[in-house]
Structures are given as C-alpha cells and as structure tokens.
Amino acid sequence: MNRHVGQLPKQYDPKALEEEVRTLWENEGTYKLVKETRSHGPKFYYLDGPPFPSSDTPHIGTSWNKVLKDTIIRYQRTRGFNVRDQPGYDCHGLPIELAVEQKFGFKTKKDIESFGLERFVSECKRFAEINCASMTRVFQNLGVWMDWANPYMTHHDDYIESDWWSLKQAWKKNLFERGQRVVHWCPRCETVLSDYEVVQEYKTLRDPSIYVKFPVVGKESEFVLIWTTTPWTLPSNVAVMVNPDFQYAKVRSDGEVYILAKERIAHVEEAAGVHLEVVETFPGTKLEGLKYSSPLESLVPAQKDLRNAHSVVLSKEYVTLEEGTGCVHSAPGHGEEDYEVGLRFKLPVLMLVDDQGKFVTEAGKYAGKPVREANPEIIEDLKSLGMLLQATEIEHRSPVCWRCKTPLLIRATNQWLIKVAQMKDRFIKEVENTTWIPDWAGANQFKNWLGGLKDWVVSRQRFWGTPLPVWVCNSCGSTKVIGSKDELLKEATDPTELSSLHVPWVDRIKLRCKCGGEMSRVPDVMVGWYDSGAASYASLSHPKNPELTKFWWPPDFIVEGRDQISGWFFALLKTGIIAMDQTPFKTVLMHGFMLDDAGREMHKSLGNFVASDEVVQKYGRDIFRYYVLQTTIWEDLRFSWDALKQYSGDLSTFWNTYVFASTYMSLDEFSPSKWPLRKLTGALRPEDRWLLSRTHRTIKEVTEAMEGYRVHEALRKLKNFLVEDLSHTYVRFIRRRTWVEKETRDKLAAYATLYYALKQALIMLTPTLPFVTEALYQHMFKEAELKHPATVHLLGWPSWDKKWLDDSLESEMEAAKSVLSTVALARMEKSLKQRQPVRNVAVVTDSETTRNALKRYKALMLEQANTRTLIGAAPSSSSKYEMQAGEGRYAKAEFPAGALYVDLKLSRDDLAEGLARDVVRRMQQMRKEMDLKVDSYVHAYIVAPSTKAAGMLRSKSKYLAHEVRAKQLTVSTRKVEVRAPYYTKTWPIDKEMYEVGLCEVSRLKSKT
Ligand SMILES: [Zn+2]
Ligand SMILES: [Zn+2]
C-alpha cells in the first residue's frame, strides 16, 4: 500500500470546512465513538454549572463559558480520561415566572392565582424547556461535545426528589428550621430575595431626609433627635441606638432641648438652618436606658402597645458619625442591624408591612397604604404634631428587584432556613482543601465571602420551583420533612393523585398526623440556588443510584464566571457539606466577564448585545473559540470585532503552514510510516534538531499549562510554535531542501521533522480548535499512516522526551536569527537586494553563543544570508573592517551581540547570479498565476534588454532552468516568434525591462 501525506485545500475556508466536519461527525457518530473509546479510562467528573434558560439566545459570555468547558473536556479525553460530560439547565425561578407573567399581562400574584396554578406552572415549564432546546442548539453549533441528549434539568421530578432527600439530611442534622429573619423583600413579586440577588441591581432613588424629635419621658420640651430616610419605618420604631464611645450633648434652640452627638451639631445646624446652643456634654453611656415616647403613638396603635420598649440602647458597631445625629432610630422589623441589636437587648420586633408592601391594620392611620407612598403623609403628621425639626430630600443608591426593578423593602418575616452560620469555620477549612485557579479566587475572594456567612433562607413565596417538602399538621402543628416521592405516597391519605411533584399537584397530597389531624404542605418553594447547588449529586439522581454516585462523586472540576463566588460556588459548598459532608468539587477555575469594547456589560436593552451565532456566521466556529480562549481566563474580555478579525489571521497562518507541508509532501508521496524520524536521525541537520527541541519543549509547556487549566497560556505557546518556529523560521529554512527532486535523505529528514512537529501541534490544538484540526487530519494526515483512528479526536495527547530538549541549540538559533535579520538590515541600507549573493559577511562579537551559532548553523546561515563566506571575529579585529568600511567596502549594522560587516564588492559572476535569482522569482510568480502544478514542466524564454544582461543570464541558464522546471529555456535580446500559447509578462528589474514567456509542456504537446 502506498500511503502518503494528502493534499489540503489551498485556502482556509472555515465555513466550508466546518460544514464538512459537522457532516462527518454526524454521519460517523464521532462524539459517541470518542466517548465510548475513552469510557474505560480513569474517571474525570466535570460538573456543569447550569445556565438559566430565561432567553432563547444565550449571552455570548455563556457561549465562552461553554467553549472553555468543552476545551477542558476534550483535553481530558485526549489524555485518556473517561469524562462525565452531562450539561445542565437551571430551570426554576423568578425570571421565568416573570416572563410568563409578562406574556399574559399579569400585574400581581393574584392574577396568577385566578389564571390557575396548573396552567401557570405548565407555562413556566414550557417556557424553560423551549429556551433550553434553543440554547442547546447554539452550544452544539459551537462544537461543544456534551451529552446533549441527556441534560440534567432542575425541574425534573428525579432532580426534585434529590433536593428533597438532601433537605431531609439537613432536617435530621437539626440544621433545618423555621425562624424569623430580616430579609430583602420585593413587594411586587411578593417574595424574599437572596443577598446575592440584592447586590445585582441598584437604582438612584429620591427619598425624604428628615430630622425627627422623640420626646424624652418626664421632661418638658426635651427630645432625642434622630435622622432617617425611611419615614415609613417610624411606625415600627422600638428603640434608639447611641454609641457609648462618643460624646453627646444637650443643645438649646427656640426653647427646646435636643440630645445628639457633639460632633454632629455643626452639621445639623447647617442642614436644619437653626442655631444650637450647647448646654452640657456627656459620654454616650450616660444615655443608656433613657426613656422616650413614640412621636406617632397617637396615630399608630401598635406604638402605644410598645410603650415600655422605647428607650436608648448602646451599640458600638452601628452608630457612626458619618451621617445623621449619632442617635439612630431602630426598627428591628425593618433593618438587619437593628434586628441584631434588638436580639441582644431582647427588644420586640414590630413589623407592620404585609407581603404586598402595604401597612397592616395595626398601623392605624396608615393601614392599607403602600409604605413608600405613605412617606409624605407621615412627614405631614410629624409636622403638625410638632415632632419634625426639618424635612428635605436626598438622592441615594438603593437596591431594587433585579427582575421587576421595584424598590426593595427590608422586613422581618418567618422563613425556612438552613443554619449554616454556625458552620463558618468548617466551610473556610474546606476551601483550603480545594484547588482554586487563580489561587486568589479561593484564598481571598471566596474566603472573604464566607467570612460573612449567614443562615441560608431557602424558602421563597412563589410557585415555579422545587416545592419545599414540609408538611405541617393543621391541628397540633407538628412538622414532617419528606425525602422522596415514595415516602410521600406511602404516608399520603390518598396516594393515587400525583402526576407531577410541582405546585399545585403536590399540594393535593395530605398526610395523616400522629395526633389524627391532617397535614398540609407549607406553601413555599425552594430558592433556585438550592437546586443548582445540589447539582453534584442531584444530577446523579442520588440516592437512587448508589453505584453511580460511588463511581463518580465528587466532581473533579468546575469552571464558572467570577460572579459565582457568591452564587453557584457558594451554593455548591453549602449543599455539598449539608448532604454529603464534603466539598463537592476538587478544582475550581474562575473566568472573567464578557463585556462590550467600551467595558460595559452586554444587554439587549443597551443595544450592544452580540450573539455567538452572529460571530459564527461571519467568521466561523474555530475563530470564535480561538478568540475567546486566548484571553487570560480570569480577566474580563472586551468583545471587539476588530480584534476578532485580527485573531482570524492566526488561523490562516496555521492553515498555510500545513498547506506548505501538505503540498510538497503529497507531491513527493512522502510516507511517514516508511520514513519515521527514528530512521532518519543520522540525516538530521542542526535546524531539524532545533525544531525537534522546540517541539518537545512546546509539548512540555503546553501540557503543564493544560494540567493547570491555563488554556490561554497553552494556546499562546502553540501560536508561537506555529507562527514563529514553524511558519516564520523552519518552513523558510527548508524551502530549498523540499525543492530537490530526488528523494534524498536530507529532504526526507526535513519532511519527517516537519511532519512530526505539525502532527504534535495538531493534536495539541484539538481541544481548542476541534473543527480545523479535524479537517487538517482528514485531508492531510489520516491516510498518511498505516495506523489511523477515524477522527483526530482519538489521537492521544503527545508526551515529551527530555533527550530532545537542547537549550544551547535553541539559544544559538535565537542568535543565528538575530544575525540573519541584521544582515538583511545592512543590505537594505545599501539597497542591496536579498537575492544578490555577496562574498563575505564578518560578524564581530564577543558573545560565545553567537560565535557557536555561526559554527553550528553554518550551512543554513550561508544560504539564508546569501553569502559565500561567513566569518566570526573577535571585537579586536573590527578596526580592519572599519577602515575599509570608511572606503565603502562594507555595509555595517549593529545588533545586541555586536556588529557585522557585509562585503559590498561584487564580481561579474556575483551580479549574474543576483540577476538570475531576480528573474527566477518572477518566473515562479508566473507559474503561480498560471496555476501550474508544482511538478509540471514548462518551456520558457527570456528577452533581455542588453547583450550584457543576456550574457549574464546565459551563464546561469542551468540554474534558471532547474529552478523554474524548464525543459527548454532560451535567452535572447530580440523578441522571438512563438506559436504555442505562451503566457508572457514584461518585468522591470533594476530599471530595465525583461520579457518572460512560459508555456506548460503538456499544452505544447497537445497543440502540435
Ligand atoms: Zn420584583
Ligand atoms: Zn397533629
């Protein structure tokens, strides 16, 4: 069998190639083949962070994320690992409910209830599933090889059951309970929001800024002066906080006495436009226990009931001198810090606001009013009661609902929570047992986040989510947490009725209590973060398949964006430790954000949204992948079409390097099986050994980078190898060797070296550029060797051998390249063409490396510098050249290692050779224009402008004929008559005109 290297298409046409590869993969079932082939290797559990299907078009940052994951998965497969590659979708949650609400024009939760919960939840499910399918298509189109036929979806019953199971573990460990917590609340969505959701969205709001007088009990016209921007929390006031470390003062104004911090007096005077005369000063401790009465007690019945509570308490942490009066109005029902201080002093928690953000009956005069709308009325009332010192307005940044943009309220509510705050030290310790890339993501960012660990509020007052598996007895109030569907049906009073575990179906299941009463499920669903956090075991349907869990768990690797420090990474850690008693990941890679070219986030509403499909259509899949993967993973990427275009040039350079090799090797029917490197080691030139050293060093460095998940570093090393070492250096160096017709060992050594280097680079590029590498393999490599897998993705990752690494070969090559580029510079300054051979180049240097390079790479440098001799000389001999240089004999150029001198004296023969090379270059150009095969022969003629020029060319006719593959070549000074269809062109060389004609021999024959 005559196997040899195949011919590549000349042009890099990503669209055509990618379609060809996609068809091949589809027809051959390539993904399944690769997965199956690797299924016997050691396990590698990659866990997908599930994107949220709130839109049918994934954000381009999500496409980047998926491509990065695909690259790691492909790399591990190439290394021989059996990779678990199940993708996931985070299907529950508020954004999907809101999208459905918008579709039907709902304004409040009541609209949903009258629409019917069955219909509403079915619509949410449909919405999520349609978007999942659409996103899957985009990811698959990018060449992301995951198990798309079998994704984990958080709304599947199996998944929900796993959530239930783990919550039951928390219950058994006494970590799950119902309790009061101060939370951020959206009055439109009527639900609690996570801290994580609260930091997402802020808006500048105009709010009141008021100074209010709290009458001191038993003193006429004496008041504690407070400042607030939320008048609507005054009906819930319980205490005033002062700082024991500050100095306070009694001040007089218009016959009234106010108590405030001494340092805030000047500020209040300016803000309220009053003069305050200091009566006495004293430390804050003296105010402890001071009784005051509520300024609104005549209007708010709840305030009257609390009368005994209204007193001054001390707080070092939450009273500052940055704003206000140093006396802080405290409403534990409406502030986290107030709540904490309230707990310490056993203060009552007053909370007069309902789910929709309206005042309840106990708020008296304000009952039924939305709290923010009640602000002006409260201010008016304070004024008429004489309790207002000053009212202005303030603009400040306040959190709003990240979905519906409604300003959030803070309220104390009863929620279901997991008591993780007490496990803080354990959590921080767990982080130390995991690998974070970059390491500061874990050592600083994640640890800092864990420092503020609070109990986890897992209940949400919504519909589309994992139902909280808690049933409560309607008679005795006892609670039961259910861990599976089977358990639920076993305990159900009527077990036949359960088509879905979702609301409202699950709520039809009632349980029988020990007391004889009936138990109903609590109305809440679970926070979506609990779903996605459970992915490490819920995607395995744990505990239903213990063998599966035993084989795979825990995940080896996760990778997500930097926002997941407080999101998914955090949720994973919490559920992992609660349910499995262990961190559910070994290695975390954190990536940056995709921004627009001005550094802003990309949003459809901003008009700067780019979809990855658009990039694929314009440039191709590999170019998108290359562009995003070369960026430093943990830095933000500013998307730019210009940059994308620039990077696409690299892929063309890669392609052309392979085309060069493929063209000559296929022509010569080079067979790497017949001529492997090991049979040619004796024929290797120093530059071949240099390339092999570079190849093995590149394998070493790329492998180390990939093992550390630094994909960008690996890709940059590969680019350097392909562009600098191969395209710009080695391929240039071996052009003349490949042009030799005979099958010499010297040529074979160059082929074998180049083939080896290109093949190793090809394999290392497969994880990042799966399409172009497959095309290169199918066209060029696959048929070249006896043993060949069906796809490039089954070639194993290369290993490096230190016997090939040679530091001095590499440093001397750098020195040689530096000399060569300096020779080119010296020539250019004297307008001496590169093609004009010179007699001598003298390199004056005290660098040992450079002198060694001149010896080691002598043949190569003579050829590349186009000189007959090359001398290395010590700096002491430079005067010899300097003197003659002064007379114009030498062209001098300096470089870091010294200086060199190019001899400018040329003989007639030198000039003839220079002219001949000029003509050859143009004839080769014409061969290309005629689209001749590299090996086809021609007849040629040259009409020279003078007898002298014709004579010079005739003296080099053997060389000319050989270089342009001419069977017949005539040189004359007058135009010759030619009958056959010659391709002719007139060229100016050194300001004189030369006519050149070429005709392919086969065409000549067919004409006669
Ligand atoms: Zn909302
Ligand atoms: Zn009961």
Tell me how far apart the alpha carbons of residues 292 and 183 are, in angstroms, rounded to a whole number: 28
Helix (H) or strand (E) holding 188: none
Ligand of minimum distance to the alpha carbon of 356: 1
Ligand 2 centroid distance, CA of 584 (Å): 37
The average confidence (pLDDT) of the chain is 94
Among the listed residues 905, 901, 904, 882, the one whose alpha carbon sits nearest the alpha carbon of residue 892: 901
Sheet containing 327-330: order of strands: 311-314, 239-242, 327-330
- pLDDT value for 304: 84
Residue linked to tokens 């590549």: 8
Q: Is 356 exposed, middle or buried (0-12, 13-18, 19+ CB in 10 A)?
A: middle
Ligand of minimum distance to the alpha carbon of 399: 1
Per-residue pLDDT, averaged over 927-948, amounts to 91
Tell me how far apart the alpha carbons of residues 572 and 529 are, in angstroms, rounded to a whole number: 9
How large is the C-alpha radius of gyration of the chain? 40
Q: What are 334-381's pLDDT values in tens digits?
A: 999 999 999 999 999 999 999 999 999 999 999 999 999 999 999 999
Cβ contacts of residue 883 below 8 Å, gap of 6+? none
Ligand 1 centroid distance, CA of 603 (Å): 19
Per-residue pLDDT, averaged over 448-453, amounts to 92
* Residues forming beta bridges with residue 392, ordered by sequence position: 209
- pLDDT value for 803: 97
Q: Which residue type occupies 44? A: F
* Residues forming beta bridges with residue 210, ordered by sequence position: 228, 391
Ligand of minimum distance to the alpha carbon of 520: 2
Ligand 1 centroid distance, CA of 500 (Å): 27
Q: How many CB atoms lie within 10 A of CB 799?
A: 10
Taking each helix axis as running N to C, give the angle between helix 807-829 and helix 858-865, from 0 to 180 degrees, rounded to the nearest 10.
20
* Res 983 pLDDT > 80: yes
* Res 605 pLDDT > 90: no
Q: What are 532-581's pLDDT values in tens digits?
A: 999 999 999 999 999 999 999 999 999 999 999 999 999 999 999 999 99
Q: How many CB atoms lie within 10 A of CB 119?
A: 12
Q: For residues 522, 528, 529 and 530, what is the CA-based torsion angle, rounded to 10 degrees?
A: 40
* Res 2 pLDDT > 90: no
Ligand of minimum distance to the alpha carbon of 511: 2
* Res 1008 pLDDT > 50: no
What sign does the CA torsion over 89, 92, 98, 101 have? positive
- Kindly provide the residue ranges of all beta strands, DSSP E only, lying in 884-953, ordered along the sequence: 890-895, 898-903, 938-943
Q: What are 276-333's pLDDT values in tens digits?
A: 999 999 999 999 999 999 999 999 999 987 766 899 999 998 999 999 999 999 999 9
Per-residue pLDDT, averaged over 897-921, amounts to 94
* Res 3 pLDDT > 50: yes
Residue linked to tokens 């490197």: 677
- pLDDT value for 970: 93
Q: Residue 446 phi/psi, 5° resolution?
A: -70, -40
Ligand of minimum distance to the alpha carbon of 185: 1
As a residue count, the chain comes to: 1008
Tell me how far apart the alpha carbons of residues 253 and 389 are, in angstroms, rounded to a whole number: 11
Q: What are 828-863's pLDDT values in tens digits?
A: 999 999 899 999 999 999 999 999 999 999 999 999
Ligand 2 centroid distance, CA of 164 (Å): 22
Ligand 1 centroid distance, CA of 100 (Å): 14
Share of the chain above pLDDT 90, in %: 89
Ligand of minimum distance to the alpha carbon of 403: 1
Ligand 1 centroid distance, CA of 462 (Å): 11
- pLDDT value for 390: 95
Ligand of minimum distance to the alpha carbon of 107: 1
Tell me how far apart the alpha carbons of residues 850 and 844 are, in angstroms, rounded to a whole number: 10
Q: How many helices (H) and strands (E) does the chain have?
A: 37, 36
Tell me how far apart the alpha carbons of residues 177 and 693 are, in angstroms, rounded to a whole number: 64
CA angle, 463 then 133 then 556, to 5°:
85
pTM (two decimals)? 0.90
Cβ contacts of residue 116 below 8 Å, gap of 6+? none
- pLDDT value for 975: 77
Ligand 1 centroid distance, CA of 669 (Å): 70
Q: How confident is the model at residue 199 (pLDDT cuts 50, 70, 90)?
A: confident
Ligand 2 centroid distance, CA of 755 (Å): 79
Ligand of minimum distance to the alpha carbon of 476: 2
End-to-end CA distance of the chain: 38
Is residue 522 classed as helix, strand or coil in its secondary structure?
A: coil
Cα distances (Å, whole numbers) of residue 922 to 88, 824, 919, 950, 953: 59, 21, 5, 16, 14
